[in-house]
Amino acid sequence: MNIPRPQQNVPLLVSQISVATLGLLVILLASIANPSAYDPFTLANFSINSDIIYALLLVVTGWLCNRWLIKMPNGLYASFSMLPIQATFLIYPAAPAAIIVLIPCLLLELFQLKRGLFMAIYTAGIFVLATVAARYIYEGVGGNALVGDLKLNNILAILIAFLMFGLVSELLMSVTTILQGNLPWKNLSERVPYTTLYFGGMLLGSILLAILKFETGIIAFGLACSVAIVLGLILRQYTDTKNLSQQRMEKTRLLNQELERINNARQVAVTQINNTLYILLHLVQEYSGTSQDQQVAMIQITATIEELSRTATQIATSSDQVAKAASATIETTQNGQIAVRDTITAIQEAQVKMQEINIRILDLNQKSELIGDILATINSLSNEIRLLALNATIEASGAGIYGKRFAVVAGEVNELADRSKQAAQEIRRIINDIQYATTSSVRVTAEGLEKMERSVITAKLSEEANLEIIKQVELTAQSAESISSATQQQQHASEQVVSSVYNVTSMLKQNNEKMENVSAAATELEQAMEELLKEK
């Protein structure tokens, strides 16, 4: 039987010492009361040497059963470990029986359970007291050596002795339970089955060992003890195997639970990834559509700028022709005129404060506005040229025959001024288209503050008509050169704008390709997640 290890408090320690002392006193009193090694009814045909061997066999059997069966369920452990102990009080008188019971109990506590000396004496004291009480009851009710046929009085004596052994041992263990602060009947439902089992099992086994001792001899007795030992070892192996199997089943169950948890976590993760991929794919598709719209707008802007560049080239060519004609006129007039005093101041400085925004398209808008300012200058110069041409015509008419050639030049200049004004209006229309396309493409434009400082060219007209004509022609030539220079600047700005638009278009194209790759990868990953969910 498994003896519970009590808590080490003072009343319980006193109880342990009391039980141990009482057990030793019982052994001493039993020896004094019956000093013989045998009961009065077991004197025949037994030598002391053979009784020592029997006693050693019982001690070894009890110790081995305790050693091998200590981890067994309570019922099986009690049935086999108590078998040699309870057979002892059917064979030997009180004192030898108590000593035989004492040795296996001490060995169990000191070397197997290792619960300390006090616990060893306490456990041994319980079973010594129960054994001595059972032996004296057995003798008191007329029990004899189990020789020959079992008589009714021997059977009754055996039953009463076994009952006394159980009552004494249970009573002492109940006292221990009470001292621990527990009620002995709390685990009564657990104790009744295995108590009944080990009493029933030990009853027949103990009777068999006693009969073999008295009837057959030492060989049969030794074989019976060996059978008990081997059977205990087999039960121990069976129990270990069963426990190992249960442990494996428990590990398998825990592993299945862990796998189920991991599988559930994986399913949740896959679902979250799938949702994230769906959102990412939607964003990529939306951004790809916006980039395609921007790319189309950039293509339209590029075409418009290229058309503007071609128009600017035509204006520059016309301005060069005007400058050449004016130079020829000056050279012809200077051959018959007095030295000309030139005071012409035509200075134009444009200061533009521009704000840079993250994308290059806004630069296009600002340069378009700059071109518009230049066109305003061209319009102003065209008006001045027309005014100068009118003045030149008036002066030519007053000069008589000398003014005919200059009248022709003044007419050409007037016509050139009209053509320049028409070209400037055409450029203004194109610029408006560019600004509209830019605004619709980027949706935000930063309006730059541009100021044009204009210098009014003041010239003192000479009293003589030829000098005034020369000054007007020089102004015409300078205006033509200004138109040519401004047109060249506008053409250069247009080329830069076209280059910027090409770069933006190229970047948009690359972004579209990358977005298509990202979209394709996201689609493939989404399909993989769906396949993974299907595998679940």
What confidence tens digit (pLDDT) does each residue in 141-150 have? 877 667 656 6
Instruction: Tell me the percentage of the chain whose pLDDT exceeds 70.
Output: 30
10-37+48-215 is classed CATH 3.30.70: no
Are the C-beta atoms of residues 469 and 382 closer than 8 Å to each other?
no
Give 435-456 as a 3 state SS string.
HHHHHHHHCCCCCCEEEEEECC
Per-position b or e across 63-95, b if 16+ CB within 10 A of its CB: bbbbbbbeebebbbbbbbbbbbbbbbbbbbbbb
H-helix or E-strand spanning residue 239: helix 218-334
Task: Kindly report the pTM of this predicted structure.
Answer: 0.38
> Residue 130 pLDDT more than 80?
yes
**Mean per-residue pLDDT for 116-132?**
79
- Across 327-336, 426-435, 460-469, which has the greatest mean pLDDT? 426-435
- pLDDT band for position 235 (50/70/90)? low
pLDDT of amino acid 473: 63
pLDDT of amino acid 56: 73
pLDDT of amino acid 38: 38
> Residue 55 pLDDT more than 60?
yes
Question: Which are the contacts of 377, defined by CB distance < 8 A and separation ≥ 6?
Answer: 348, 452, 454, 482, 486
- Mean pLDDT rounded to a whole number for the chain: 65
**Mean per-residue pLDDT for 40-46?**
38
- Across 106-110, 150-154, 290-294, 448-452, which has the greatest mean pLDDT? 106-110
Give the residue from 448, 449, 442, 447 showing the smallest Cα distance to 358. Answer: 442
What is d(CA 283, CA 289) in angstroms, rounded to the nearest whole number?
10
Query: DSSP letter string over 301-361?
Result: HHHHHHHHHHHHHHHHHHHHHHHHHHHHHHHHHHTTSPPP-------EEEEEE----SSTH
CA-derived radius of gyration, the chain: 63
pLDDT of amino acid 37: 39
Where are the domains positioned within the chain?
10-37+48-215, 275-341+348-528
CATH number of 275-341+348-528: 1.10.287
